[in-house]
């Protein structure tokens, strides 16, 4: 096995640290990342009317996508806080809320909620022991490191969608 392959395999098997995961969350938010797009600037550059538009038939609006991100961030925060009752599942109305009478003000609320969740998650992680990352998330089959990393990847995926829809 060459040294690059050995390094890559070793890097994949290493448990991330809380500070590394916080850095990923912060870089996602600020735009100091590989794609050079941050949630803060992207979301701040969209007005309420644009966020409500359904540009593709039977697809989600930007508002609905952001509320979906907020739902998963709420799930993460609640699990970090020890809440094992709150859950998400497809078609439960929480993961992708349906808003037939959506208003532009809902966009500002969703953006504010995303920011508040970002700050609260970082705060909670800063107060958590490293051992948390290896613990299994209650009522799930994966650990906290996987969940946090998954939230970052999930946000990047949907931010790409938002970028295309704006």
Domain assignment of residue 26, yes or no? yes
Mean pLDDT for the stretch of residues 107-132? 96
Look at residue 8 and tell me whether its pLDDT is greater than 50.
Answer: no
Mean pLDDT for the stretch of residues 88-110? 71
**CA separation for the pair 71, 156 (Å, rounded):** 15
Q: Which pLDDT score, from 0 to 100, does residue 96 have? A: 59
Mean pLDDT for the stretch of residues 4-21? 66
Look at residue 97 and tell me whether its pLDDT is greater than 80.
Answer: no
The CATH number covering residue 100 comes to 1.20.120.450
Domain assignment of residue 7, yes or no? no
Across 54-63, 80-89, 109-118, the highest mean pLDDT is recorded for 109-118
Coarse DSSP helix, strand, coil percentages of the chain, rounded to the nearest 5 percent: 65, 0, 35
Q: Domain range for residue 91?
A: 17-165
Domain assignment of residue 107, yes or no? yes
Domain assignment of residue 57, yes or no? yes
pLDDT digits (tens, 9 = 90+) for 33-49: 888 888 989 999 999 99
Domain assignment of residue 74, yes or no? yes
Q: Kindly report the average pLDDT of the chain as a whole number.
A: 86
DSSP H stretches of helix in 31-103: 39-44, 48-52, 62-80
Sign of CA dihedral 143, 144, 147, 150: negative
- The number of distinct structural domains making up the chain is 1
Do residues 71 and 78 touch, judged by C-beta distance below 8 A? no
Percent of the chain with pLDDT over 70: 84
């Amino acid at each position: 096995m060459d040294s690059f392959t050995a390094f890559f395999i070793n890097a994949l098997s290493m448990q991330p640290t809380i500070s590394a995961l916080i850095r990923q969350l912060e870089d996602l938010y600020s735009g100091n990342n590989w794609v050079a797009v941050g949630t803060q600037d992207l979301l701040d550059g969209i007005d309420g009317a644009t966020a409500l538009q359904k540009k593709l038939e039977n697809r989600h609006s930007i508002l609905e996508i952001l509320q979906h991100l907020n739902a998963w961030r709420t799930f993460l925060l609640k699990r970090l806080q020890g809440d094992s009752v709150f859950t998400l599942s497809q078609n439960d109305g929480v993961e992708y809320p349906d808003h037939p009478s959506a208003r532009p003000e809902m966009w500002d609320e969703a953006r504010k909620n995303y920011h508040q969740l970002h700050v609260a998650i970082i705060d909670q992680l800063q107060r958590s022991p490293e051992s948390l990352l290896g613990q299994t998330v209650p009522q799930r089959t994966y650990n906290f490191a996987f969940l946090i990393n998954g939230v970052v990847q999930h946000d990047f995926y949907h931010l790409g969608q938002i970028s295309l829809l704006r």
